[in-house]
Structure 1
Amino acid sequence: MVNHQRLIGLFMEMVQISSVSGREGAFRDYLINYFAARGLKGEEDNTADYTGGDSGNLLFRIKGTVAAEPILFSAHMDTVVPGNDIKPVLGDDGIIRSQGNTILGSDDKAGVAAILEAYEVLLERGLDYPPLEFLFTVSEEQGLLGARNFNYNRLKSRIAYVLDGGGVPGTIVIQSPCQNEIEYHVTGRAAHAGINPEDGLNAIQIMSKALAAMPCGRIDASTTCNFGVIEGGQARNIVAASCMVKGEARSLERFELDRLTRELQDTFIDEVTKHGGQPEVKVTFLYPEISLNAQDKVINLAAEAARGIGLNVKLISTGGGSDASIINGNNIPCANLGIGMSSVHTTEEYIRTNDLIKDAELVLAIIQKSITD
């Protein structure tokens, strides 16, 4: 029932609308106009006040044709850079790529396109459907900021699907980690590096000694941590008076995240203090874990729908977070669906048209399955 050419054309049209994180306004306007042409009015929230961007999250509510539980489908509007002036190319091999100097934007406009095409099919075929809610978020690529600032009391849906997962259609994420963002600060003492270095206290050196004593990388099968950014000092001839490192910790288990975070904090403070520096640690909880199983309604519905259209179902655990993490954390069971996007966040990004088609077919199948069970 999915119109292949219409879907591919829609996707290729949308990726040409620049929407890098914080600058989703043009794509927001596109979606508002798209749904307005079909009699729907979008509701934009005030998330831009918190992100500093030019768009808020966008919600569309669709009255069902039958009395049934509402379902939420969600995808994010923003992309990473280089994401301006994207020129998609459809190859003879059935793969859509960029021209090679930008990303493609299938992360996550493939998800958006699948939702729009599924709705188009419902309308043109006169099919029944439950009440639907479509949520298009901003700044997902900046730490899920759009989803984190959305007011979930506005939703009526009690199950949800995010179309933003790795893997081919039929892949369903049932487990993902919780995460802490951690900033480590060392304050030392400045001095001239050539005249009186002994009067200084080098914060960069102290930071290095502390980091060397701290765990990093794979901690166990479900837990990791990392140090990703370091900043410090003023000039090569000044003993560095300050140093900052941005890191993270994540785990599939909340108690392991808490335990690792305490270990990182305690070790850092002890080491910095031992070497004469002043330590400071800032911990920000970014998102909760997802822990679903095959028997949960949200998973069972998607799995049965996927099998019904000939997909191989694969339930997986992942080490990354998504908007599904935030939705789950707001007591709405939410599965992240694999959509076939590949080599994302690179200029080699691509998606197969067959996967794009299956994405739309799966959204449609979930909707139809929800009112026949």
Structure 2
Amino acid sequence: MSKINKERIIKEFMELVKIDSETKFETNIAEKLNEKFTALSLIVKEDNAKEKSGHGANNLICTLKGNLKEVEPIFFTAHMDTVTPGQNVNPQIENNYIISDGTTILGADDKAGIAVLLETIQVLKENKIDHGDIQFVITVGEESGLAGAKALDPSLLNAKFGYALDSDGPVGNIVIEAPYQTKITSKMFGKSAHAGVAPEKGISAITVAAKAISKMKLGRIDEETTANIGYFKGGKQTQTNVVCDYVEIVSEARSLKKEKLTNVVNDIKGKFEETASDYGGRAEVIIEEIYPGFTHKKDDELVRLALHAAEKLGLPTDVLKSGGGSDANIFNGYGIPTANLSVGYEYIHTTNERIHIDHLINLGDLVVQIIDDYFTP
């Protein structure tokens, strides 16, 4: 029988989604969450993510002290920010789904995760479940390129491993692989000339870039690797009589394997540089790691623990590969093994976003079960 208080978790979730918290504007919800975690007797610390990232608040690192001191802590994380349009959310219940009124997102991504964590703490207290220290990390700026997690002070974390509550799909599923991502900014320099009088005296940066791109393998490279040209700018819209001497191309590459990513990035860089040189131009290529990838095995402790808990509850137990990044990528990069649990929200980042009430309850049961099994196996 579920230990989750259905009415309470629904009320908590609907209260949270009504608080405006579009990414970079997290001030109000951070204050409210600080109050909520403090009221539940957690030790709440803030880092300096606001100053480092330019977002509206700091990350919250909330520690629930336990009575089992011999077991290492674990942690759970969710993010407090949402995408747009996320102001004046008006949640309502329809056929056991919580939805918005259709003019905004709902914000289940990721306030469903936060509501579950707050409910989990209350369930642990009410049922006097033995546990060691547990950290709950609530980040800002996840929707702005994982900005909050990147700005996090990792010295505030002491967990052995943990879970992000921030993946779609049925509750019980777990993401154990997610890609590395790299951004590539390529600046192509040519030579200007009059396009009608002496085009042969110029070097078209547009032409050079186009020829370089034509040599690249883009899109789906293999089942683990992708590459994409996302942005191409240059030239003068009202001066077609000038040979373009500069363009800028922004691209990305992702792979579950770091060595594959390195090969793709080097190929893109090499094609731009070699082609520019062949035509008498010049290329300046800037490479930036956006986030690290991670891979966990089914027999790793954090994966076994989550799958076993889901099995006990009769929930799905699929292990998944993701094509995108989450805060889990950043925590893994800090050396803290982190997997991403499915929350059950649907149609995120759209005004059709929704979550079934059963998913809130099931996820709460799953988190409680994970904690109980880890600390008192």
Q: Tell me, in whole angstroms, the C-alpha distance in 1 between the residues paired with 2:77 and 2:300.
A: 19
Taking a change above 3 Å as real, the CA distance of residues 270 and 133 of structure 1, as seen in their structure-2 partners, is same
State the Cα distance separating 1:250 from its structure 2 match: 1.0
Q: For 1:49, give the aligned amino acid.
A: E
Q: Tell me, in whole angstroms, the C-alpha distance in 1 between the residues paired with 2:234 and 2:86.
A: 30
Aligned pair count reads: 372
1:159-210 deviation line (CA, Å, top 9, x unaligned) = 1110011211111111111111111111234456677766554333332222
SS in 2 for 1:19: coil
SS in 2 for 1:342: coil
> Of residues 160, 165, 168 in structure 1, which corresponds to 2:167?
165
Which residue is equivalent to 2:311? Answer: 307
Q: Tell me, in whole angstroms, the C-alpha distance in 1 between the residues paired with 2:196 and 2:6.
A: 69
1:283-331 deviation line (CA, Å, top 9, x unaligned) = 1112222111111111111111111122121111111111111111222
SS in 1 for 2:78: strand
Taking a change above 3 Å as real, the CA distance of residues 192 and 354 of structure 1, as seen in their structure-2 partners, is farther
Superposition TM-score, scaled by structure 1 size: 0.94
Which residue is equivalent to 1:80? Answer: 83
Q: For 2:179, give the aligned amino acid.
A: P
User: What stretches of structure 1 of length at least 5 have no aligned partner?
Assistant: none
Q: Tell me, in whole angstroms, the C-alpha distance in 1 between the residues paired with 2:246 and 2:111.
A: 42
Matched, 1:319 2:323: yes
Q: Tell me, in whole angstroms, the C-alpha distance in 1 between the residues paired with 2:191 and 2:34.
A: 55
Q: For 2:358, give the aligned amino acid.
A: N
SS in 2 for 1:135: strand
Which residue is equivalent to 1:220? Answer: 222
RMSD: 1.8
- Whether the aligned pair in 1 keeps the contact of 2:40 and 2:121 (CA below 8 Å) is no
Which residue is equivalent to 2:358? Answer: 354
SS in 2 for 1:42: strand
Taking a change above 3 Å as real, the CA distance of residues 132 and 225 of structure 1, as seen in their structure-2 partners, is same
Taking a change above 3 Å as real, the CA distance of residues 214 and 307 of structure 1, as seen in their structure-2 partners, is same
SS in 1 for 2:287: strand
State the Cα distance separating 1:273 from its structure 2 match: 2.6
User: What stretches of structure 2 of length at least 5 have no aligned partner?
Assistant: none
Q: Tell me, in whole angstroms, the C-alpha distance in 2 between the residues paired with 1:82 and 1:230.
A: 27
Q: Tell me, in whole angstroms, the C-alpha distance in 1 between the residues paired with 2:17 and 2:320.
A: 28
Superposition TM-score, scaled by structure 2 size: 0.93
State the Cα distance separating 1:112 from its structure 2 match: 0.9
Q: For 1:343, give the aligned amino acid.
A: Y
- Whether the aligned pair in 2 keeps the contact of 1:214 and 1:268 (CA below 8 Å) is no
Taking a change above 3 Å as real, the CA distance of residues 318 and 191 of structure 1, as seen in their structure-2 partners, is same
Matched, 1:138 2:127: no
Q: Tell me, in whole angstroms, the C-alpha distance in 2 between the residues paired with 1:205 and 1:212.
A: 11
- Whether the aligned pair in 1 keeps the contact of 2:109 and 2:345 (CA below 8 Å) is yes
State the Cα distance separating 1:41 from its structure 2 match: 4.1
SS in 1 for 2:22: coil
State the Cα distance separating 1:278 from its structure 2 match: 2.0
Comparing 150-159 and 253-262, the one that deviates more: 150-159
Which residue is equivalent to 1:116? Answer: 118
- Whether the aligned pair in 1 keeps the contact of 2:130 and 2:376 (CA below 8 Å) is no
Comparing 226-235 and 133-142, the one that deviates more: 226-235
Taking a change above 3 Å as real, the CA distance of residues 194 and 341 of structure 1, as seen in their structure-2 partners, is farther
Q: How does 1:18-57 map onto structure 2 within 5 Å?
A: 18-57=20-59
> Of residues 249, 272, 275 in structure 2, which corresponds to 1:271?
275
SS in 2 for 1:332: coil
Which residue is equivalent to 1:258? Answer: 262
Q: Tell me, in whole angstroms, the C-alpha distance in 1 between the residues paired with 2:122 and 2:197.
A: 73
SS in 1 for 2:319: strand
